[in-house]
Amino acid sequence: MNVKEALQQRKSVRAFLNKDVEENKINAILNAASHAPSGTNTQPWQVAVVTGETKLKLQTQIECQFREGDKGRADYRYYPETWIEPYKSRRVACGLQMYSTLKVEREDKQRQLNLWAANYRAFDAPVMLLFFMDSSMQTGSFIDYGMFLQSIMLAAVEQGLATCPQASLADYPKTIKATLDYPQDTVLICGMSLGYEDKNALLNSYRTPREETSSFTRYYK
């Protein structure tokens, strides 16, 4: 498999097989991703691999908070306060694509709620990855983290595994850090589901479109 193939095969998977991921595969993925670049080689990433009883305990806590109406408060603002075009339309189209695939009606608020709640279980994947960073680090380290996360997702494809990067898993940082006995003064960047894709699941059948290269590229000669 070459890099282009891995990039094209990678997708956000939201339904996984009930099959454990071998620890040696997780280690191989993280080892490969550790070669991602970072400014002055700071390597700001800290990774929590959450499985088994700990995952069950953690996901139960944060899903309960969500269902009780607590929207949480992430350590930083991920999305803009005001959406403008073309990003607003892309965001809306992304949600509609999932709902139309699953035939979820606009009025079916309970099913929509259940679909969103699945985020906090890492879509029932066997592995929940959580990514932390020291609070002393600044914006440049978020750029470094993006390259690290992409490296993980591509390495997972090579291992025959699927992923879904999730900003939603950073919604309840205090609960997550307390449960994992992780320092409260760190920044919870995001989470990621990791496991074997359920290729028969309707939820995994659609792909979000990408813009033509010409729409975001300018050449200066």
**Is residue 100 a part of any domain in this protein?**
no
| Structural domain containing residue 137 | 7-77+119-207
Stretch 97-126: mean pLDDT: 93
Instruction: Identify the band that residue 165 occupies on the pLDDT scale cut at 50, 70 and 90.
Output: very high
Q: Look at residue 166 and tell me whether its pLDDT is greater than 90.
A: yes
Torsions phi, psi for 189 (to 5 deg): -75, -55
The two most distant CA atoms of the chain are separated, in Å, by 58
**Is residue 11 a part of any domain in this protein?**
yes
**Is residue 89 a part of any domain in this protein?**
no
CB 161 within 8 A of CB 29: yes
Distance CA 18, CA 204 (A): 15
Per-residue pLDDT tens for 65-99? 999 999 999 999 999 999 999 999 999 999 999 98
Instruction: Give, in order, the Cα–Cα distances in Å from 198 to each of 101, 125, 183, 202.
Output: 16, 10, 35, 9
pTM: 0.95
pLDDT at 180: 97
Q: Look at residue 118 and tell me whether its pLDDT is greater than 90.
A: yes
Residue 174 sits in a domain whose CATH number is: 3.40.109.10
Instruction: Give, in order, the Cα–Cα distances in Å from 170 to each of 13, 36, 37, 198, 201.
Output: 18, 22, 23, 25, 26
**Is residue 218 a part of any domain in this protein?**
no
**Is residue 98 a part of any domain in this protein?**
no
Distance CA 209, CA 118 (A): 23
Instruction: Give, in order, the Cα–Cα distances in Å from 54 to each of 27, 59, 175.
Output: 19, 9, 13
Q: In total, how many domains does the chain have? A: 1
Distance CA 192, CA 169 (A): 8
192 beta partners? 129, 165
Instruction: Identify the band that residue 1 occupies on the pLDDT scale cut at 50, 70 and 90.
Output: confident
pLDDT at 106: 81
pLDDT at 156: 98
**Is residue 66 a part of any domain in this protein?**
yes
- The arrangement of strands across the sheet holding 162-166 comes to 46-50, 127-134, 186-195, 162-166
pLDDT at 107: 83
pLDDT at 108: 86
**Is residue 171 a part of any domain in this protein?**
yes
Instruction: Give, in order, the Cα–Cα distances in Å from 41 to each of 34, 60, 141, 179.
Output: 11, 37, 10, 30
Q: Look at residue 60 and tell me whether its pLDDT is greater than 90.
A: yes
- Calculate the CA 142 to chain-centre distance: 14
Instruction: Identify the band that residue 111 occupies on the pLDDT scale cut at 50, 70 and 90.
Output: very high
Distance CA 125, CA 131 (A): 16
**Is residue 215 a part of any domain in this protein?**
no
